[in-house]
A and B are shown apart, each in its own frame.
With several copies, the nearest count.
Chain A
């Protein structure tokens, strides 16, 4: 089933959609709903945020009023793909999880079509849907558990503890968990990085230093690409100083600027034997 690529599903889905009657579609942040729209025979579809493919499947199973222990896979798969298609039409991002489930459903659908081994004993035939049903039931159990937690939290919110008293303040400490260590450590590292950056910025290069730097570079290398020289500047201010120092050395005829071709690199050279200038 892993071989079924999401693309195949995407291409098969529109075909399904064409069979559908005209629809009014509205996207709401609620649970999805398909309901007759007033007295027209159009269907009104409200798309919701599904928590995941299992959620969508459970919803479809309820919507179609089918027995979860005997899911009509072909029908549910079609419905499922229609939904994915709708999501895509609405430019909702269809998460990978939904596509994986689509692939599994299609695979299941084809397995349901295979003739059963006539030699197999009735009890030994494993329903191909069994695994999916188990997952759905498991998922629904946890949804119910989440609901239980929700109501517990609601009751708990009606219970109040005393306000802070003096002795609490004697103990202005934070409870520490394992992830607090990591979080705090990362904060420290981030702070450290920030400080280093600040230091670099504060380290301002004077005009005299910049002139020295350029002079040394040109002398030791014979020529320096100005682009490289300017790129060494760590701040806008430094860049300005670098630019001014080039002008200054040109003015003092210590260096010459050479450009061998139009739009080519501009090189700073010592003014020596050749002495060409631009």
Chain B
């Protein structure tokens, strides 16, 4: 196959330090894959995935180095942008995903005949904000910050899978601790928690500068 021949030429650089976590015997069948093919496979894989795929997962499946995949994905992102695609390749929830661009949401919605789904109540959002910034956090601690009981808001957030239990706190009554989930990252378009603006950035809004 002509593709295989092509692949061999470029091969050398992609294979540098194959450090796989998988058992040694699986490395046996390391295939020779060129850059262009790598990009194509990664793109196809992200497309078929029903949730964001990490570079590591892709690397493990095609048995190449993760940095090679990361480079391929970086190139792909630029390509998508350069050709003004209606789609974007983006990093979300510690993985990669193909999605439409927000610019065209009106037409897309008109086509799908969909309305934006009902979002969370203010009470739930405030509870979620406390959990996002203070995780892992217990119900009493949330109460302390919000100054109001939030059990039903917490249940809503659990039902919507935006938060998850994170073990128990070793204190009186061993209350359950909560933190945000992967779905939280996805629904709020975050790569990871570090992408959240620092809570101190809201200081100005809250207190205003002393003037």
* Direct contact, A vs B (beta carbon within 8 Å): yes
Q: Smallest CB-CB separation from A67: which chain B residue?
A: B3
Q: Shortest beta-carbon distance, A133 to chain B, in Å?
A: 9
Q: Smallest CB-CB separation from A135: which chain B residue?
A: B147
Counting contact residues on chain A (CB < 8 A from B), the size range is 35 or more
Q: Is B196 an interface residue (CB 8 A)?
A: yes
Most chain B C-beta atoms within 10 Å of own C-beta, residue among A93, A96, A153, A195: A153
Q: Is A23 an interface residue (CB 8 A)?
A: no
Chain B residues with Cβ below 8 Å from A162 are 47-48, 98
Give a binary string over B110-121; 1 marks a CB under 8 Å from any A CB, 0 the rest.
001001111111
Partner of A192, one of B147, B198, B202: B147
Report the separation of the CA atoms of residues A216 and B208 in the bound assembly, to the nearest whole angstrom: 50
Contacting pair A176 B199 (CB below 8 A): no
Report the separation of the CA atoms of residues A187 and B10 in the bound assembly, to the nearest whole angstrom: 43
Chain A residues with Cβ below 8 Å from B207 are 68-69, 137, 140
Chain A residues with Cβ below 8 Å from B190 are 152, 178
Partner of A145, one of B18, B108, B202: B202
Contacting pair A97 B108 (CB below 8 A): no
Report the separation of the CA atoms of residues A186 and B115 in the bound assembly, to the nearest whole angstrom: 29
Q: Shortest beta-carbon distance, B179 to chain A, in Å?
A: 11
Interface residues of B in 25-50 (CB under 8 A from A): 44, 47-50
Q: Smallest CB-CB separation from B164: which chain A residue?
A: A177
Interface residues of A in 159-178 (CB under 8 A from B): 159-165, 167-168, 170-178
Contacting pair A186 B108 (CB below 8 A): no
Chain B residues with Cβ below 8 Å from A182 are 129, 133, 196-199, 201-202
Chain B residues with Cβ below 8 Å from A148 are 129, 197, 202
Give a binary string over B191-209; 1 marks a CB under 8 Å from any A CB, 0 the rest.
0000011110111011110
Interface residues of A in 124-172 (CB under 8 A from B): 135, 137-150, 152-165, 167-168, 170-172
Q: Shortest beta-carbon distance, B102 to chain A, in Å?
A: 4
Contacting pair A179 B108 (CB below 8 A): no
Chain B residues with Cβ below 8 Å from A155 are 102, 189
Partner of B206, one of A55, A144, A150, A191: A144
Q: Shortest beta-carbon distance, B69 to chain A, in Å?
A: 19
Give a binary string over A170-206; 1 marks a CB under 8 Å from any B CB, 0 the rest.
1111111111111111111101100100000000000
Partner of B189, one of A61, A140, A159: A159
Partner of A177, one of B112, B133, B161: B161
Interface residues of B in 158-211 (CB under 8 A from A): 158, 161, 164-165, 181, 187-190, 196-199, 201-203, 205-208, 210-211
Partner of A52, one of B102, B119, B198, B211: B211
Q: Smallest CB-CB separation from B117: which chain A residue?
A: A157
Partner of A69, one of B10, B44, B129, B210: B210
Chain B residues with Cβ below 8 Å from A3 are none
Contacting pair A149 B132 (CB below 8 A): yes
Report the separation of the CA atoms of residues A61 and B206 in the bound assembly, to the nearest whole angstrom: 12
**Which positions in A face B, CB cutoff 8 Å?**
30-31, 49-55, 58, 61-62, 65-69, 93, 95-97, 101, 135, 137-150, 152-165, 167-168, 170-189, 191-192, 195
**Which positions in B face A, CB cutoff 8 Å?**
2-4, 7-8, 10-11, 13-16, 18, 20, 44, 47-50, 97-102, 105, 108, 112, 115-123, 125-126, 128-130, 132-133, 145-149, 158, 161, 164-165, 181, 187-190, 196-199, 201-203, 205-208, 210-211
Nearest 9 interchain pairs by C-beta: A52-B148, A163-B50, A158-B105, A158-B102, A54-B147, A140-B206, A145-B129, A173-B119, A185-B129
18 more A-B residue pairs beyond the given contacts A149-B128, A159-B100, A177-B188, with a C-beta to C-beta distance below 8 A: A49-B211, A66-B4, A95-B210, A97-B148, A97-B149, A140-B205, A141-B199, A142-B202, A143-B10, A150-B119, A153-B120, A158-B102, A160-B47, A162-B47, A168-B50, A176-B120, A176-B128, A188-B146
